[in-house]
Structure 1
Amino acid sequence: MEAGGRRARRREAAEYYRGQRVPERMEEALNALFPLSPGDLYGELANYLSKYSKAPVICKLVGRKVLDGVGQPTLEVEIYCTVKNYEKRICSTVMSFHSQIPENALPEKIEAEEKERNDSVNTAVEWVNESLNTMLRDLEPTDQCQVDKMLGEYFTNKVEEKKNIQRQEEEEEEEAEATLALPPRAPSPATPPGKKKSAKPGKKSSVAERPIPPAEPADPVLCGSLAIGGTSLAIAKAGATISHVPLYSHIALLKHDQSQLQESPEEMTLPLPMVTLLNCEKMSPSKLKLVKEVMLIPPVQLSLKQGIERVLDIQKEMTRLLESPGKMPGPQPADGKKGRAQNSGKKSLPQFLKRISHLGCLTTGYDDVEQLLLVMQTACSNIGLELGTDVYLAINCAAHELMDYDKGKYEILTGTFKSPDEMVAMYGELIDKFPFIIALIDPLRKEDREQWSNICCALGSKCYLIAEDAATCISKLKTDQNINTPVCSGVVLKYVNETKVSDLIELTGILHGQRHITILGSPDGESSDDSLVDLAVGLGARFIKLGGLSRGERVTKYNRLLAIEEELAKNRNLRETKLEFVAFAEESQPENQLSDELPPPEQD
């Protein structure tokens, strides 16, 4: 039957080429060499000749203003390449925008921030469509190092231009003042941050035991810097598309080539998700200010799919408890008279479920940390789970938002203040009492470096002490192969502004070499682009912090993570991961030796 089919195809080919006046001997040769139909023959020839075609090159970049997940403007970058002499759209990426406005910011500050953001996006669109479009034309999208080098040089020139403009404006102001012969300005009576006005005689002073370091100025963000990060990431996606591999594999190969590692990047570990369950308000009527986010971390022994399902079960039970105030656990009776008084009034109950936060999680408030943790324990117990065995907690303290610079102390509860040293002692008691908390994010300001060292020595072998806001922007984290952060267990990296893919690759290599863990974090103003997940997998991040399991821009990333797990498991490229802490206090411990592995969970 098969031989008959071949003979039929040969006859068809002969008939075709006879009609095309192909010489009889050529017809016989073709029949002998290619026992295929004419269509199949041309397809084979096309595939063969395509191997000798010119490699795809960038022919056009398109930047445009789009909206992110909360309706704010951000940047989209599209990449077009010349493929076999035809212009073809390869991919696009949408940048996330990181806002650093505190929850209780004044309307004037919010309005100014929105105007600055709009100007920045407009400038970024202009850079992409004009300068970067011309500069990167005819480069191969697979040459990430060259692209990022050119982007870095372009950004450095823009920074210098900005400095020159500012310098010129300052000189013009000085000349104008000299011309008008204005009298010298009197010093401002305002009290600088970190200092307290002198107390009146007879009144008790509330000055801190010792002066605290003043807040470091915020890292300046150059208007238009989104264009650098957006273009670098879009080029990486284009390189993966041209190479016919997933973006996470492309990133892993880039990291392998750049760091010259010996091990193959074929096997990968998935980052553990830090799933935000609660967004705790730091405003009245709730008293608790110390906790900004409560996150759930599934145990490593579960698959990612099983872990997400477990988190969803806890989220459903928490929602039920928050919507049923009569079933909420109240304060412990051991509080004495004060506890009984609170228990009899409405104020003793936690703030009930209000809305879904922009982080994609439940929004609520509490009066103290123990009340919050008691509710968490109750929710888990109701569905047959145990904190510390079946699931772990991480807390984002966001301590930089708590500092009262007049008092020189952190306001952890409304009217309750603690010095940096007292904060370290408080965290020690908290972890000893609730060992299921395995990560604290920003437990202190970055300026309190001495206390960061103390807390790491005290608690580093029990939980992760992670710097998020306490770390500077990615472009300034690396200084002479060192990390410019306080002593910590790890750093949350966010792909924003002028961040480049090559920066992330280099920085994660340094972090790994210095026993730091890497957490890829999702910014506040998130988009529906799921590239962050591929970056986390390709870079080998220990955790990924994406927010909650609601809102499309958040859920799409969890779905991408699940898809990658399925693909790696199918190809047998999924490597198991472990959670181990660093014992900072043991200075003689070898660099690569970690301690205190988390216990395995009980099987369902």
Structure 2
Amino acid sequence: MYPPRSAERVSADEPDFGRLRSAAADFCRLNGLPAVIERALNELFLRQPEDVHGYLAENFLKLSAPPRISRLRSREVFDARGQLSIEAELLCTVCNKEKSMSSAAVASYLVPKETSVDQASESQERADHVTTAALWINGALSSLLTDLNPCDQSETDQRLSNYFRTCFQEEKDTRDREKQESLTSSSQELELPSPPPTQTKDKIRSGKKSRETEKPFRPAEPPKPVLRGSMAIGSVSLAVAKAGAHVQGLPLYRYVADLRNQKAPKQFHIPVPLVTLLSCGKTSPGKLCLLEEIILVPRMGQKVKQTIRRTLELQKEMMRIMNASTKAGATHTFVSASGAPAASYDRPEQPLDLIAEACTNLGVALGTDVYLALNCAAQKLVNYSKGKYEVATGGLRSPDELVDFYHTLISKYPAVVALIDPFRKEDTEQWQKLSNVMGNSCSLLCDISHKLQPPHLPGVRGFIIKQVNETTVSDLIHITTEYQDSVLMGTVCSEPCADASFSDMAVGLGLQYVKLGGLSGAERMTKYNRLISIEEELAQQGILVYKEKHSPPLFPETPQELPATAE
């Protein structure tokens, strides 16, 4: 037993620790908690804190039941493009009271429609997706996760994925049944005409030269159908992860790192931010269609702030050059959907020459201080009626011609260290050819954000992933663990504006690179600012490390083909 306090030390304003201890001990014995309370009171008697009630509240809080998910609630929001989207709010029971713990919204991706589909139809389709997602969140998913520990991310994501697969299979069975009924009905009503005789083209001779008929252009694989309401799955998964981090008193990036590594890592590094410098895609005012994004790749060891400042300086100088080259100071630039200036050009050499000139004027060594990556987005350039890629308005190239085109371009601009989606995924032969002629001078990257299942493409050294639709936190952890340094993370134009958790995810997953888009728009700058905040926090704690040199997927030391994955 501890001796009572002396009478001189006790005043009317001070708590009588002996009396408190005795009363609380009686309370714990009556309620069957003598051992736990006895230890807490002995420690209280020794420490004699100034805020006795706060001290007791903190200790007794540890004895309460862990938080449990009580329900989910949906909220309709608008994304960065002003399109309708869905946000999931997670409510938990904490100390017998229901409390809103977190909310999250992931980017939504719908299969692109034909150009004949009007905007009103697309808006209605998106509204239907959002309505279904809201029904899922408020109904089935809420019931599915009730009473679950928000820190149990694995179990949460397993339940969410199982629910999605069940709904997807039901939808598939319905489509197959309707298709079969339609075919049966058509075969009974119509007599199909006999197919025309097959015609073959002879060799075309012109003088001394002859060429054979071009190779057939492989048809596009059918796009993966997007299940109506699927955006609810990713939003709920992220909301649960944020709630779990809150319960454990950790920033989200540390919580995700713990989930991925099964233990807290001793050191962290900040993924190198790849910043969109210029846009020249099909939506730009010029004829050039090929380069959807020209991306700045900073040298290793730079802080995020330094990368942003350098990008802004380059963009300012590029704008000055473009304005000086137009009459009366007029400009043909605007900010693209990716948050970067979109320039009016007709040939791919023009924007690259502009960047080179801006670097020279600022004393920036292109190919040493900064590098470039080109997002070709070739899948958007295909003219299926002619079986070619539309590199520029009216300028068509076959897949083999495009191989030579890229080779010539990279040879002229060695600062380009990566090509993103230079071909469709169906043109496997051309991926291999381009990889052979490039060697180690340039890496080929493939965007798999809408499938999250790496295809077996020869020569590909890295994949770009994004959290969209039904992608759960566990899905991201799985693919980044399986492919390690071969994965980088990217944003999409329909990101929610106010959510910076994307940056936490990139840091927590231990990624080497992160693609955040341009430096315009709240939805992007929120993520850049969060990355800066994490970098400063880690530096203050002395656990931030910087990479000395670029590593795969952008700067491979030796060619390495990724393992095959079933489609």
Within the candidate set 125, 133, 141, 1:132 is matched to 141
Tell me the residue number matched to 1:406: 385
SS class of match (2:528) = helix
1:564-594 CA-to-partner distances (Å, cap 9, x unmatched) read 111111112212223133366589xx99xxx
**Cα distance, 1:234 vs structure 2:** 0.8
Tell me the residue number matched to 1:278: 278
Tell me the residue number matched to 1:432: 411
Q: How does 1:55-74 map to 2 (within 5 A)?
A: 55-74=66-85
Q: Distance in 2 between matches of 1:173 and 1:32?
A: 77
Q: How does 1:16-165 map to 2 (within 5 A)?
A: 34=45, 40-98=51-109, 101=112, 106=115, 108-165=117-174
Alignment of 1:533 onto 2:512: no
Alignment of 1:570 onto 2:540: yes
Kept after mapping to 2: 8 A contact 1:101/1:110: no
Give, as a single letter, the amino acid of the residue that structure 2 aligns with 1:241: H
Q: Distance in 1 between matches of 2:433 and 2:149?
A: 49
Alignment of 1:579 onto 2:550: yes
1:143-163 CA-to-partner distances (Å, cap 9, x unmatched) read 111011111110111012112
**Cα distance, 1:282 vs structure 2:** 2.3
**Cα distance, 1:9 vs structure 2:** 6.1
Residues 149, 285 of structure 1: alpha-carbon distance in 2 compared, 3 angstrom cutoff: closer
1:482-516 CA-to-partner distances (Å, cap 9, x unmatched) read x555541111101001101111111111212xxx5
Residues 187, 472 of structure 1: alpha-carbon distance in 2 compared, 3 angstrom cutoff: farther
Q: How does 1:88-487 map to 2 (within 5 A)?
A: 88-98=99-109, 101=112, 106=115, 108-173=117-182, 181-186=188-193, 209-257=214-262, 265-282=265-282, 286-326=286-326, 352-468=331-447, 471=448, 473-475=450-452, 477=453, 484-487=456-459
Residues 99, 438 of structure 1: alpha-carbon distance in 2 compared, 3 angstrom cutoff: farther
Give, as a single letter, the amino acid of the residue that structure 2 aligns with 1:530: A
**Cα distance, 1:171 vs structure 2:** 4.8
Kept after mapping to 1: 8 A contact 2:111/2:226: no
SS class of match (2:514) = strand
Q: Distance in 2 between matches of 1:327 and 1:266?
A: 57
Residues 74, 182 of structure 1: alpha-carbon distance in 2 compared, 3 angstrom cutoff: same
Q: Distance in 1 between matches of 2:121 and 2:260?
A: 39
Kept after mapping to 2: 8 A contact 1:99/1:525: no
Give, as a single letter, the amino acid of the residue that structure 1 aligns with 2:227: L
1:192-237 CA-to-partner distances (Å, cap 9, x unmatched) read xxx99989x9999999621132111111100000011111111111
SS class of match (2:11) = helix
Give, as a single letter, the amino acid of the residue that structure 1 aligns with 2:53: Y
Give, as a single letter, the amino acid of the residue that structure 1 aligns with 2:550: L
Q: Distance in 2 between matches of 1:93 and 1:505?
A: 18
**Cα distance, 1:305 vs structure 2:** 1.4
Stretch of structure 1 that moved more, 228-237 or 570-579: 570-579
Tell me the residue number matched to 2:525: 555
Kept after mapping to 1: 8 A contact 2:418/2:444: yes
Q: Distance in 1 between matches of 2:227 and 2:383?
A: 29
Kept after mapping to 1: 8 A contact 2:10/2:16: no
Give, as a single letter, the amino acid of the residue that structure 2 aligns with 1:247: L
Residues 377, 202 of structure 1: alpha-carbon distance in 2 compared, 3 angstrom cutoff: closer
Residues 122, 64 of structure 1: alpha-carbon distance in 2 compared, 3 angstrom cutoff: same
**Cα distance, 1:447 vs structure 2:** 0.7
Stretch of structure 1 that moved more, 234-243 or 113-122: 113-122
SS class of match (1:59) = strand
SS class of match (1:466) = strand
Q: Distance in 2 between matches of 1:208 and 1:39?
A: 89
**Cα distance, 1:280 vs structure 2:** 1.1
Report the number of matched residues. Answer: 536
Within the candidate set 481, 485, 500, 2:472 is matched to 500
Kept after mapping to 1: 8 A contact 2:104/2:238: yes
**Cα distance, 1:369 vs structure 2:** 1.6
Q: Distance in 2 between matches of 1:373 and 1:175?
A: 56
1:251-307 CA-to-partner distances (Å, cap 9, x unmatched) read 1111112xxx8xx62312211111112121426862322211111121112212111
Q: Distance in 2 between matches of 1:411 and 1:197?
A: 26
Q: Distance in 1 between matches of 2:241 and 2:284?
A: 45
Q: Distance in 2 between matches of 1:45 and 1:183?
A: 82
Q: Distance in 1 between matches of 2:540 and 2:79?
A: 33
Stretch of structure 1 that moved more, 41-50 or 537-546: 41-50
Which consecutive residues of structure 2, in runs of 5 or more, have no partner in the other structure?
Answer: 27-37
Q: Distance in 2 between matches of 1:197 and 1:556?
A: 58
Give, as a single letter, the amino acid of the residue that structure 1 aligns with 2:536: E
Give, as a single letter, the amino acid of the residue that structure 2 aligns with 1:431: I
SS class of match (1:92) = strand
Kept after mapping to 2: 8 A contact 1:16/1:38: no
Percent identity, please. 40
Residues 507, 585 of structure 1: alpha-carbon distance in 2 compared, 3 angstrom cutoff: closer
**Cα distance, 1:462 vs structure 2:** 1.5
Give, as a single letter, the amino acid of the residue that structure 2 aligns with 1:136: L
Alignment of 1:518 onto 2:523: no
Q: Distance in 2 between matches of 1:36 and 1:18?
A: 13
**Cα distance, 1:6 vs structure 2:** 10
Residues 501, 13 of structure 1: alpha-carbon distance in 2 compared, 3 angstrom cutoff: same
Kept after mapping to 2: 8 A contact 1:279/1:357: yes
Stretch of structure 1 that moved more, 398-407 or 68-77: 398-407
Residues 8, 497 of structure 1: alpha-carbon distance in 2 compared, 3 angstrom cutoff: farther
**Cα distance, 1:457 vs structure 2:** 3.1
- TM-score, length of structure 2 as denominator length: 0.85
Stretch of structure 1 that moved more, 310-319 or 234-243: 310-319
SS class of match (1:142) = coil
SS class of match (2:406) = helix
1:59-115 CA-to-partner distances (Å, cap 9, x unmatched) read 11111211111210111011111111111111111221235648xx63625433322
Kept after mapping to 2: 8 A contact 1:10/1:37: no
Tell me the residue number matched to 2:35: none
Stretch of structure 1 that moved more, 363-372 or 153-162: 363-372
Which consecutive residues of structure 1, in runs of 5 or more, have no partner in the other structure?
Answer: 190-194, 329-348, 592-604
